[in-house]
Structure 1
Amino acid sequence: MIKIYKTEESIVNEIEKVEDGCWINMITPTMEECINISEQFDIDIADVRAALDDEESSRVDLEDGYTLILVDIPSIEIRHKQEAYTTIPLGIILADGVIITVCGEETPVLQAFEKRRVRDFSTKKKMRFVYQILYRATSVYQNYLRVIDKRRREIEERISDDTEDKDLIDLHELESNLVYFATSLRANGVVLDRLTRYERLKQFPEDREILEDVIVENKQAIEMTAIYRDIINGTRELLSTIIDNRLNNVMKYLTSITLVMAIPTVISGIYGMNVSGKWMPLSQTPYGFYIVCGIMVLICVIVLLILRKRKMV
């Protein structure tokens, strides 16, 4: 799918044909659409389709007649029947008079521009537009990071009440999301650093300020990712320790019950031996059976008191 936009007096409008100073937004484009754009602007077809490969790494390529900027942006996917976060490539191509974006799916990073949520946005100021896209991407990263931390806090609040093995799995999923974010943010940081050094890319002082803001926000997102990973790791260790401690308490309780139940078993086993009844204590005594039962109950109570004193039950 290809949509073409152009700003007039700070208002973005969708247009039918390619014009000078427009933005061509390609979302999951077909091969035919990629070939048309490639031939129209003399761009290598591999560069047009680079963002459609999930394995592509972030980079900046200065080619004859155009520039390719490839970065990773956050995305939502379904893993194990629940919502999770990952990263996907976003290609930004600066061609003759136009800016082209290529992505494998709809993304809130670009939707903010389509729905007029970004101020001072112009498709004619290409480098400023690029930096605004990158700034928006880092903002989405930070929003998703806050959501991840909120989910972590929800799991942490359940630790003292109803801790389950599922919570450990959920923490592992959250940590996996942060690994994807950390890797992509570091790669994007390299791209941002290169953009500050390329003199071929025409930039105004205002554009430089936006780029500096993007670099700062990207570093902040990296720090947030590292902090949240450490916190999740600590929460997971705490959760695992609590589950192990509860298991130990259950085993200790069952062991104590087994010990108490063994007392009447041993006594009744002795009295059940095939020997002459006259040699068994209390066998000829009136109410001997009840006396033996009372002794067994007394011994069990004494053992229970000892175990409780030692906090075994």
Structure 2
Amino acid sequence: MIETVRKYNNFTWYHVSNLTTEDNQILVSEHQLTNEIIGYAVDHNEAVRMEYDNEADESLMVIDVISYHESTVETRPIGILFAHGDLYTFSHSVTDYIQAVLLDPKNRQKRENDNEISAIDFVMTGLYSLMTRYVAQVSEINRKRRVIQTQLGRHKRTTKQMNDLLRLQTQTIYIQNSLANNHVMLDAFKQDFKTEVAHFEVEHIDDVRVEVGQAEHMADLAMAVINSVSDAYGNLSNRDLNWTMKVLTVYSIVLTVPTIVSGFYGENVKWLPFATSQDGWWISIVITLLLMAIVSLVLALSGFFRR
């Protein structure tokens, strides 16, 4: 769907959500956009980058933003196209919220009034709010990690806790990768447009870059802590496994004694002690228990029962 969101003095903003074939034809025939640049803008797997077509007067920014799902949070690319003096934004269902954010960016930047604002400054003030969502998401990941971490020494470790921790690691990897790519792209954007924009607009670009850098630092720190907690879980699990194997080994050694004793007496060998005694059965049991106690004592003195 193509929506004419707002007309400013310096540009008109069009928002394209869930592009259809008919929408593509309209953009090509009526807006004189190229199929190539449209394909880049709506590609779900497009890499974060700047794409230019000087002949067609098109400059495309592909940037990752947070995408919200029912059970997890990931990142998805959106397209921001400067073409023929107008602005086009491209999104999908999970990123369609960007329209509301660009219309009402709640950040510390002072935006020019609608009569004077340029397309680049409009985008940058909106991107600032979009990038702050990375900080909020990293903070949420840290909160969930702390919940898991507090259970480390209080409750028995479960598969669910390990799966939750793995899910946080996966989300953080997405965020780290997206932030790193966004940072590189914004550096390239500033370098390419610094001679074409006003000084205060360059400052707004720098504000977005600083916000991305802060979020990137937080994500790196969050991943380091998550990895440490994950390693701690792994070490504790290995310790529990070693203890289990040690106990099973001790049991197997102790339970070998009855087999040895019963094996001797089961061979009907002459002259075995108490073999011909009427109470030989009970005596063999006493001998077995005595030997088992001796073996257990030796293992205990050797430290096998220390966890």
TM-score calculated relative to the size of structure 1: 0.81
**CA distance 1:258–1:123, change in 2 (3 Å):** farther
| Aligned residue in 2 for 1:15 | none
Q: 1:189 aligns to what?
A: 183
How many residues get paired? 297
**1:88-237 maps to which residues of 2 (within 5 A)?**
88-96=76-84, 98-107=86-95, 110-113=98-101, 116=104, 118=106, 125=117, 126-160=119-153, 161-165=155-159, 167-199=161-193, 202-237=196-231
Shift of 1:216: 0.6
- Which residue of 2 is the match for residue 12 of structure 1? none
Q: Of the candidates 267, 274, 278, which is equivalent to residue 282 of structure 1?
A: 274
Match of 1:244? 238
CA contact (8 A) 1:109 1:136 kept: no
TM-score between the two structures when normalised by the length of structure 2 = 0.82
Taking the aligned partners of 2:156 and 2:99, their CA distance within structure 1 comes to 40
Aligned pair in 2 of structure 1 residues 101, 196: CA closer, same or farther (>3 Å)?
same
Aligned pair in 2 of structure 1 residues 280, 59: CA closer, same or farther (>3 Å)? closer
Q: CA RMSD in A?
A: 3.0
Say if 1:117 and 1:217 are closer, same or farther in 2 by CA, change over 3 A: closer
Q: Which amino acid aligns with 1:236?
A: S
Deviates more, 1:301-310 or 1:108-117: 108-117
Distance in 2 separating the partners of 1:144 and 1:95: 32
Gap change, CA 1:207 and 1:299, over 3 Å in 2: same
Counterpart residue type for residue 59 of structure 1: R
Structure 2 contact 105–126 (Cα < 8 Å) conserved: no
Q: In the alignment, is the contact (CA less than 8 A) between 1:189 and 1:219 conserved in 2?
A: yes
Distance in structure 2 (CA, Å) of the matches to 1:235 and 1:193: 34
% identity of equivalent residues: 26
Structure 2 residue 20 is the aligned partner of structure 1 residue 26: no
**Residue 94 of structure 1, CA deviation:** 2.2
2:263 is the counterpart of 1:269: yes
* Unaligned segments of structure 2, at least 5 residues: none
Tell me the residue number matched to 1:254. 248
Q: Which runs of 5+ in 1 are unaligned?
A: 9-18
- CA distance in structure 1 between the aligned counterparts of 2:105 and 2:187, rounded to whole angstroms: 27
Aligned CA distance change for structure 1 residues 110 and 3 (closer, same or farther; 3 Å)? same
Q: Match of 2:244, as an amino acid?
A: V
Change (3 A) 1:155 1:200: closer
The one of 41, 47, 66 equivalent to 1:57 is 47
